[in-house]
Every structure is written in C-alpha cells, then in structure tokens.
Structure 1
C-alpha cells in the first residue's frame, strides 16, 4: 500500500474517538470518508481539508444503507485502504432493568452495525487484495460487569465475530484488527448513553459503583488513541487484537489473570466431565 494514496472509511466519525481518527488520518495526508447519523459537527473539517474529507449521513443499523454507503465511498476515491468501525453507544443499567426495545436498539448499533460494515467492505478489499478493517471494541469485552452488562455482551459478540472474519479473509491479503480502548474523554457517557429505569433494589449497588467510578483521574484525550491507530495501520503485519491505553492494558491483563486463576481452582471438578 502506498500510504500517500491511502483512503479511510470511518463510521461514527462526528465525535469522540471517531473524530480523532478522522483528524489523525487527515493530518497524515490521507483521504477520508467519514459517516455518522449526524455529520454536521464535521463541517469545519470538510471546509479545512479541501476535498480530502467527504462526509455523508449513515445509520449503521440499516444494512442496505451501509452497503450503499460503502459503495459510495469506493466510488468517491476509487478504493478503501483503512476501514474503521467506530459507531457505538452505551447502555447503562442492570440486566434485569433492560427493556426489549433497549436491548435490540443497543445491539443493532454495537453488534449488527459492525457486522453489516464487515460484510459490506470485505468484497471490495478482497478484490483489491489489500486493506485493513479495524473494529473498535472495548476493554470491557473480556467479561460482564455490573450496570454495563449488555454493552459488554455486544462487544464480546463483536470480538468473536471479528476474530472469525479475520481468519476467513487473511488469505486474500485483508488484515483485520480488534481495537480495545478503555475510557477516553469523549461524549460516550453523555450523549452516547441510554439508561434504564432504575429499580430501587439495586440502589446500594449503584452507590457502590458511583464510589468506584467517581473521583478518578481525568480520562485521556482521544488524540492519544488516534496516534496508536495511525501506528497500527502502518504495520506490515498488524496484530489481530490491540489494547489501547496503559490503564486499559493493566485492566485486561488483570481480568485474564483472574480468569485463569479461577479456572485453576476448579480444575479437578472440570476434569471430572470426561
């Protein structure tokens, strides 16, 4: 790939990590197609970058629209080299509290939107014999946690699907990476969050979570994650999974170590199964 001619396609491009990814790609001299439900916040970047940034509205929950949007992006710049599935949302609440409507709407964005994107871009990348699909997951994909159980469930499903896709397309010269960032200073926990109707029986647990999550250090700037992404897509042999952030790395390692230790404590019982 000639990096001077590199073309990006970024979903969820208007705010937070998505916008940081767009800005980083443009700063590197690349061309970008940025999509989101509302692309208004990108107007300043469009004006500043003189044809190197093309934006249009796209709802990733609409499979036909995703396919049409990817085709439009290819027609715009002739190819796609880096595709970033960044569109996502947060659902905050206990599992018992989640309504069917909330569950389906959440997974439509966080899982099915990413699935439709993968299905839409792979034929183009396969025909090129090159390209890199990066699906933005989370450090929370390694297991559930109180109040963010469905968010973790969607990201876990995304990880499994993406890992399978990576195995299926690598023989065609297509690279796939699961990007696992932790918490960044974005609007995910404000405008990007839907909350359940609280049940009073969980009030003590909510108080514990408020104490656990409150008063910590300020989340890092999304620009730091964008710098890591630029380095990632320059690698000739990129990893299938990449944790982003020092605290995130420590968190994932601790989760894995705890899981291995728990498996070990019950090894005898496990082996009785045959």
Structure 2
C-alpha cells in the first residue's frame, strides 16, 4: 500500500536518493529543500506525486507550516524522515561560537521542530513512523568532528526518549545510523573551521584513517534497507547502515564496559550505602 512520506533535506545525498526511490515505487512524497530548484527534476518526472516545499528547518514556525502544508495536501503523513543536516569539521578548540550554534540549530533543533510539528498529526491518525537520520557518530566519536558528534548524540537521546513516550500511540521511532558513505556530506555540504597548526597531527591521523576505500559505502545501496524499514510492521529503534558501523561500535563499547568494570569499586563506594 502506498504511503505518504515527509522528508527533509531532499535536495541531495541520501534525501534525494530515498525520495526518488519512494516515488519510483508509487509513494507520495513531501520533499523539503532550502532551494527548490534542486527538486525540479523530481517534479518534472513525478508530477503530483511529489510536493516540493521550501524549508530551512532551523525556522520553527516554517517547519510547522511545512508539515501542515503536506498534511493538508495529502490528507495524512505516514512517515517522517528527518534527514536535513550537515557536518562541521574541526577540533573543539577550532570551532567558533557561530559554527557550533548553527550546527546545533540544524542537526538538533531543526530535527526537533519538524518532529514536534509531525507528532500531533500522527497522534490524531493513531499511527506513524518517525525516522531520525543519526550517524554511527551518535554512538561513538571521531576526532575533528566533535560538534557533529555532539549533535548526533543529542539526536540519539532525544529520539530514544521520544520512543518511550509515544510507544502506546501507534507511533514508531527509528534512529538510522549510517557509517561513512560517498555522498557530498564531507564535500560541498560540509563546513570547515579555521585550522590551528597545533592540531595538524590530529588531522593527519584522521585523514589517514579515511584512506581505506572500504570505509565509505555506496549511497544508493542504502535504498533497499530504507524501503524495508518503512514497510516493517515492527521497525527497530536503531538501524546501522553499512558494514563498518557495528564492528566500530562493538570495539568502542567493549572498551567502555572494561573501564566501567575496572572502576566499579569506586563507583559503588560513591553510592554511600
């Protein structure tokens, strides 16, 4: 059965790939972008199946208006895919206040506003599925991406909490956590802080770690996983995309568990009784 999907950040990367795949199979898509010219090709090909909406997700009022416009146009919203976001490259010391605030405005607050706008519609329907595009970097961290890591950790906490709040309302929440993929996320879509020479070694190590061609997946290969996720009667709370994510997470969490256990006596004593 065809679904109605609202997807942010549909002008490029995962957003555009997934929007096209959904339209190809007959779904209706409300697709947002800051520049609607980037959606012209989809409008030409799919006509009334797609509703293009100009949106900067950092504008809360505009986010609510965009979601309502889609609901009024199609009559309902079955799935929300919060995909809008970008990467900020730079060490913690290098990141400026403006860069940090804008990263949180887009990756966290933008996602939150669209989520808040969609929830009343899904509650009234008695069903819905909210897919939050997080990252493996919402589970583990890499240097030179500290603020991006922080935004995705925030998305994880927000969404896990939301899942517990709406589980009896017919609304499912899924955190999609991709590892690296060969989109322009690290290219035209990214912001780079002004570099300090003190961190040249950190950047060099980071770059070397990215040299393995197997590190980055093929973006189009994620489409079957997203379609299966959308169609799942009981979707998971979390879904990694790519083969690098799970081994990376297991390695880091084994280290975390070992350290927690090593210091357990100190932790227990701090309880006081």
Corresponding residue for 1:19? Answer: 16
Corresponding residue for 1:29? Answer: 26
Matched position secondary structure for 1:214: coil
Give the whole-Å Cα distance in 1 for the aligned partners of 2:135 and 2:216.
15
Which is worse superposed, 43-52 or 132-141?
A: 43-52
Corresponding residue for 1:175? Answer: 172
**Residue 190 of structure 1 pairs with residue 187 of structure 2:** yes
1:28-67 paired onto structure 2 within 5 Å: 28-67=25-64
C-alpha displacement of 1:140: 0.6
**Equivalent position to 2:223, from 222, 226, 232:** 226
**Equivalent position to 1:152, from 149, 152, 164:** 149
**Residue 242 of structure 1 pairs with residue 239 of structure 2:** yes
Spell out, residue by residue over 1:45-84, the C-alpha distance to the aligned partner (whole angstroms, 9 max, x if none).
1111121111121000000000000000111111000110
Give the whole-Å Cα distance in 2 for the aligned partners of 1:76 and 1:253.
44
C-alpha displacement of 1:41: 2.0
C-alpha displacement of 1:272: 2.0
Go from structure 1 to structure 2 and tell me whether the alpha carbon gap of 1:218 and 1:249 turns closer, same or farther (over 3 Å shift). Answer: closer
C-alpha displacement of 1:93: 0.4
C-alpha displacement of 1:249: 2.0
RMSD after superposition: 1.3
Corresponding residue for 1:161? Answer: 158
Kept in 1, the 8 Å contact 2:179–2:216? The answer is no
Q: Which runs of 5+ in 2 are unaligned?
A: none
**Residue 137 of structure 1 pairs with residue 134 of structure 2:** yes
Matched position secondary structure for 1:185: coil
**Residue 128 of structure 1 pairs with residue 128 of structure 2:** no
Which is worse superposed, 223-232 or 101-110?
A: 223-232
TM-score by length of 1: 0.95
Kept in 2, the 8 Å contact 1:232–1:238? The answer is yes
Kept in 1, the 8 Å contact 2:88–2:191? The answer is yes
C-alpha displacement of 1:218: 6.7
Kept in 2, the 8 Å contact 1:142–1:255? The answer is no
Go from structure 1 to structure 2 and tell me whether the alpha carbon gap of 1:237 and 1:147 turns closer, same or farther (over 3 Å shift). Answer: same
Give the whole-Å Cα distance in 2 for the aligned partners of 1:123 and 1:250.
38
Kept in 2, the 8 Å contact 1:185–1:218? The answer is no
C-alpha displacement of 1:124: 0.2
**Residue 79 of structure 1 pairs with residue 92 of structure 2:** no
Q: Which runs of 5+ in 1 are unaligned?
A: none
